[in-house]
Chains A and B, each alone.
Chain A
Amino acid sequence: MTAKINPSKGAPHARIVGVGGYRPVRVVPNEVILEHIDSSDEWIRSRSGIASRHWAGPEETVAEMSIEAAGKAIADAGIDASDIDAVVVATVSHFKQTPAVATEIAHRIGAGKPAAFDISAGCAGFTYGLTLGKGMITDGTAGHVLVIGVERLSDLTDKEDRATAFLFGDGAGAVVLGPSKEAAIGPTVWGSEGDKSQTITQTVAWDEFRSGDVSQLPVDSKGEVKFPAITQEGQAVFRWAVYEMARVAQEALDAAGITSADLDAFIPHQANMRIIDSMIKALKLPEHVAVARDVETTGNTSAASIPLAMERLLASGAAKSGDTALIIGFGAGLVYAATVVTLP
């Protein structure tokens, strides 16, 4: 016999109710990067717009940075940690795969026993997590969801590679999602292009690295096997990010039923200032739209970049609570996700 099953009852909509960020104490200017590569401050700035980034110290672990960012987001939301029913952590740089870091974070912030798990979706990880969290709230499986993007990409940076040594930074960004009467997170336009998986990738898989075979693996200037790092095909990624992602961003605006004229803010993944500038052109964004340019002093922090940039845009006064923002994450996979949100 087929029993009648109760449907889950969710909130009509979800919204971002709080945001918080944590940047490591140590600021690393381009001069420090130049100790290991033959380049110049001018070259780095002209190719990436990056002047400095934050690199985490030994105590600033993925969990610690997340807890700091989560605490600020929960305070900003004005809720108690025990109100959180799910913790979603997007990261590619938490080196202990089992258990998921989300459970430790959930426990240590005092959230009790929420659902907790990690996701891996590269630089789109935060927007993927936001989309999952929104679904939990409208489905009724969670009242409030904590979504964290966190990275220690300095651990996955080849400090001797002049094409990538300057790109990456560390940090954590978090948002709290809660129920809403009105739609405050639009439909997500997302997807993957696995045929381009090699354009952004880890140089060496962990099991290959374990072999320690100097004859097979990349070696550094001291002749030692290099630790795995993130590498990318710059031109291919740039073309995809600017032109394909501008199209995805436009689809997200269309799906939300608004035009770029209705936007107050644009918060793209902070990959590279040149990508951001070219996307603005390709999207024909009106001048009144505040654009997040956190990459200049934070570098590319992958899954953490959008919430960090969101927090900074709000803190600077360039955007305010209630503003309409377009967010788009894109990166290794290749994967992407874009949506329109009301800022907390």
Chain B
Amino acid sequence: MATKEEIVAGLADIVNEIAGIPTEDVQLDKSFTDDLDVDSLSMVEVVVAAEEQFSVKIPDDDVKNLKTVGDAVDYILKAQA
């Protein structure tokens, strides 16, 4: 199971890979769409990559609730438990 810090670092790498955002910009309070320029389709790619990396399931209905990096980290932490 990944720790909170590992999840943040993992998400930062994923967002960097998919949207080209510098990893240091991927902070808990950042909004995917407003701050990180991750649009709705890129968000799907981020989610699928995160599912694979952290061995969790994030259904489509839950994706829209993941507004910030912190939302995603909390979701993955809970889903891992």
Contact = CB atoms under 8 A, between A and B. Distances in A.
A235 B45 contact: no
A318 interface: no
B39 A235 contact: no
A239 B48 contact: yes
B56 to A, nearest CB: 15
Interface string A217-249: 000000000000000011110110011000000
A20 B60 CA distance: 39
B63 interface: yes
Contacts of A243: 48
B76 interface: no
A47 interface: yes
A242 B18 CA distance: 14
B58 to A, nearest CB: 10
Interface string A290-315: 00000000000000000000000000
A46 B40 CA distance: 11
Interface in B56-73: 60, 63-64
A238 B47 CA distance: 12
A94 interface: no
A278 B18 CA distance: 10
Interface residues of A, number: 12
B48 A235 contact: no
A274 interface: yes
Contacts of B43: 235
B41 A234 contact: yes
Contacts of B21: none
A46 B42 CA distance: 11
A233 B60 contact: yes
A86 B41 CA distance: 41
B60 A47 contact: no
Contact of A47 (B39, B45, B48, B63): B39
B48 to A, nearest CB: 6
A55 B41 CA distance: 26
Contacts of A238: 41, 44
Contacts of A235: 40-41, 43-44, 60, 63-64
B60 A236 contact: yes
Given A235-B44, A235-B64, A243-B48, 7 more contacts: A46-B39, A47-B39, A234-B40, A234-B41, A239-B48, A239-B60, A242-B44
Interface of A: 46-47, 233-236, 238-239, 242-243, 274, 278
18 contacts: A47-B39, A47-B40, A47-B41, A233-B60, A234-B41, A235-B41, A235-B60, A235-B63, A238-B41, A239-B44, A239-B47, A239-B48, A239-B60, A242-B45, A242-B48, A243-B48, A274-B41, A278-B45
